Structure 1
Amino acid sequence: MDSIITAILLLLLALTCLFLTLSPRGKSRLPPGPRPLPFLGNLLQLHSKDMLTHLTKLSKTYGSVYTVYLGPRPVVVLSGYQAVKEALVDHKEEFSGRGHYPGFFNFTKGNGIAFSNGERWKVLRKSSMQILRNLGMGKKSTEEHLLEEVGFLLEELRKTKGEPLNPTFVLSRSVSNIICSVIFGRRFDYDDEYLLSIIRLTDDNLTILNSRWGEWYNIFPSLMDWLPGPHRRLFWNYRRLKDLIYRSVRDHQASLDSSSPQDFIDYFLLKIAQNKQDPQSHFHMDTLLMTVHNLLFGGIQTSEYRRRSTTWWDDSGCRQRRTERPCLTQML
């Protein structure tokens, strides 16, 4: 019996040595970096609570461009102004793509503007920017919308009659109304259930994605799909938000005036109609729903992001500097 146990332990030891020898870096053309462990990669060397410090320390050993493994996935790290400028400015075309981010991609399936790549991304980005310009983005009319919303915000604050309050939620609803007016062509009352549902779903997903559960899902999506936990709520929230957007799209379809589009959804519906004969078109209902979802998440996330910036700075491990700016690792 003892000999069998000994044989099993020796076999496990041999397999471990074999895995360590046949590391994924063996035949790779990736930049140098710390040697990864099987399955775990360099996770034991990179603690999410202090990621920026660990990445900076590794750059002193391996240079401004090096590779780490987040689980089985290789990630090339650019450290320092010159390396980032060379990649994102001097070679912006080659580095314009999005990496695989399961927390989003497993829902969007590459549709929408935020996590698409290649020709689809170029077409959707160009069209979305043109639509936003048509709606006054960057023009005087945008300022008028902002001032109008400020008036509603002040009115809401006056209702407190000088009593102490936590302004977080009312400010979130105010900022969220700006992107909603662009997408849906209308603002919502601060107690409107449609607006509140969008904010709650977006806020919950933002919390999950920035938690340890979200981090592990993006590193080991196939494994985490089988495990219970808060990450499973992520895609329920996505589907619920998609249903809310689709409900609004149906209302827009019923009232659409092709000669006078009023908002982002109207313009996109006209693009779908114009390209319906093209089987290769990137304008269809899925890209509309995902693009609207991306714009909502980005607009509302920005307000949530800014109000949580101090907390996020702490959560990313940068405790030695207290500031209102979010940590760079969170921004990227």
Structure 2
Amino acid sequence: MIMFLSSLVTTFWEALHLRTLVLAVVTFLFLINILRRCHPKNYPPGPWRLPFVGNFFQVDFKQTHLVLQQFVKKYGNVFSLELGQSPVVVVSGLPLIKEMFTHLDQNFVDRFMTPVRERTTGKNGLVVSNGQTWKEQRRLALMALRNFGLGKKSLEESIQEETHHLVEAIGKEGGQPFNPHLKLINAVSNIMCFVTFGERFEYEDCQFQELLQLLDETMHLMGSPAGQLYNGFPRIMKYLPGPHQKIFRNWGKLKLFVSHFVEKHQKDWNPDEPRDFIDAFLIEMQKDPDRTTSYNEENLISTTLDLFLAGTETTSSTLLWALLYMAVYPEIQENVQVEIDRVIGHKRQVSLSDRESMPYTNAVIHEVQRMGNIVPLNSSRAVTVDTKFNGFHLPKGTMILTNLTALHRDPKEWDTPEVFNPEHFLENGQFKKRESFLPFSMGKRACLGEQLAKSELFIFFSALMQKFTFKPPINEKLSLKFRMGLILAPVSYQICAIPRV
């Protein structure tokens, strides 16, 4: 009996001791978390944060940009969140965005390094690099775009040639329902392939089609809830199975694709006659090997891949929205075709010089960009030094999200913000630029491919409107729902391209 009571007391004490220990550890971690999250005076307001997870589970990552608009209404044009371990400040409104990217541009020039990008590219490449690496990679990329096409007739001719292939491929569908996604992404990617690799790929190339599907899947997963979970809790998610692990497997395959072209170029390149971006990079690599620069093979692969990704997904997604909107708004499509018939006719090839004479078509393309809203929160920035902004204190390292969704749907800026209306970009029948239209961002980190994208959108879109009328399949209603990823794209759809006689 005594032994039994002794054993019972011992067991009870051990259980009590274990509970006490666990409670002490949890309390300690909770206090550390509270102290770590203590914000400085005048930090932007925001919703209440939970310990460890912050506001992660208050944000629906399938429609992040829409959820944040509710916070704007409650907390104003500058508010804060915590997504896992990352402090975030969201900025809305044209005056504040302009102040950030013009008057205080040095304080917001850096990209925020997410854990996903840190694991895939490290500090290499063009999109998320900072400092000397970013300056060198951007300089070389701009030089390549100039030397291998941008602003030159050769690039316009390349887009026109690719347009011919695209029209031919769509024409083979015979007016029957088809999914335009792969054809559009193939056409757009071929322009960037011309600049980076010096060649294009046929639409029947199964291997390249698989690569494009891999590219699309990776971009979607990066912005999906699984990708955001990894960004919020990388130390845990790194060891857990799930869709996020596919991001890193896919990225490895994409790097192998670029590596293959680098190896081919290294075998037959001529430093005196560079053909494309890879050749230009190899020239930089061979200059004075003792100098400290970012011109190395890791950056060559990362920057080439960044150019390929950025120059493919954004423009192809915009064109997907464009065809969808034209099928949903047939009267607007007809107005575009009337203008095309008057200015270009049925047979002559579309040229960039036609743009000035086609204000309505130009306005429709801009309205597609506004409503399609493919980069709803811009590319994230990081505060480079402790900064006073709009009366708030922003600590160094804070992630900054620019609320382009609020800007492009602001009722103070647009007459019918929720309606597809090309008149937003027209005044007395002429095209009108809008200061509150920033799909390519602004400032030093604005999209360096803006002119290329504008050229592609005008030529591809106008040529497709010239040759086809796009309609929904019989007895079907097309949806304007979106699919959230790094790029906001329409959900998969089928469409009919009826040849115009």
* Aligned residue runs from structure 1 range 287-326, under 5 A: 287-306=299-318, 324-326=371-373
Is 1:267–2:314 an aligned residue pair?
no
For structure 2, list consecutive stretches of 5 or more residues without a partner in the other structure.
1-11, 323-369, 380-501
Instruction: Give secondary structure in 1 for the equivalent of 2:37.
Output: coil
Superposed CA offset, 1:262-293 (max 9, x none): 11111111111114231x12101111000001
Percent identical: 32
Displacement of 1:193 after TM fit?
4.0
Superposed CA offset, 1:224-280 (max 9, x none): 1111011111111111111111111111111101111111111111111114231x1
Superposed CA offset, 1:141-162 (max 9, x none): 2111110011111222233344
**Number of matched pairs:** 319
Distance 1:131 1:7, change over 3 A: closer
* Aligned residue runs from structure 1 range 49-88, under 5 A: 49-88=62-101
C-alpha distance in 2, partners of 1:217/1:83? 30
TM-score w.r.t. length of structure 1: 0.85
Displacement of 1:77 after TM fit?
1.8
Letter in 1 for 2:222: L
**RMSD across aligned positions (CA):** 2.9
C-alpha distance in 2, partners of 1:126/1:15? 51
Letter in 2 for 1:241: L
C-alpha distance in 1, partners of 2:123/2:41? 27
Partner of 1:282: 294
Partner of 2:37: 25
Displacement of 1:177 after TM fit?
0.9
Letter in 2 for 1:205: T
* Aligned residue runs from structure 1 range 55-204, under 5 A: 55-204=68-217
Structure number with greater Rg is 2
Letter in 1 for 2:373: P
Mean Cα deviation higher: 83-92 or 290-299:
83-92
1:203–1:304 CA contact under 8 A, matched in 2: no
2:33–2:52 CA contact under 8 A, matched in 1: no
Partner of 1:314: none
Is 1:329–2:403 an aligned residue pair?
no
Distance 1:243 1:17, change over 3 A: closer
Superposed CA offset, 1:43-68 (max 9, x none): 24333345334433434554432321
2:314–2:374 CA contact under 8 A, matched in 1: no
Higher relative contact order (CA 8 A, sep 6+): 2
Report which of the two has the higher share of helix: 1
Superposed CA offset, 1:184-220 (max 9, x none): 1111111224422431221110121122111111111
C-alpha distance in 1, partners of 2:123/2:261? 22
Select 1:254's aligned residue among 267, 280, 286.
Answer: 267
Report which of the two has the higher share of strand: 2
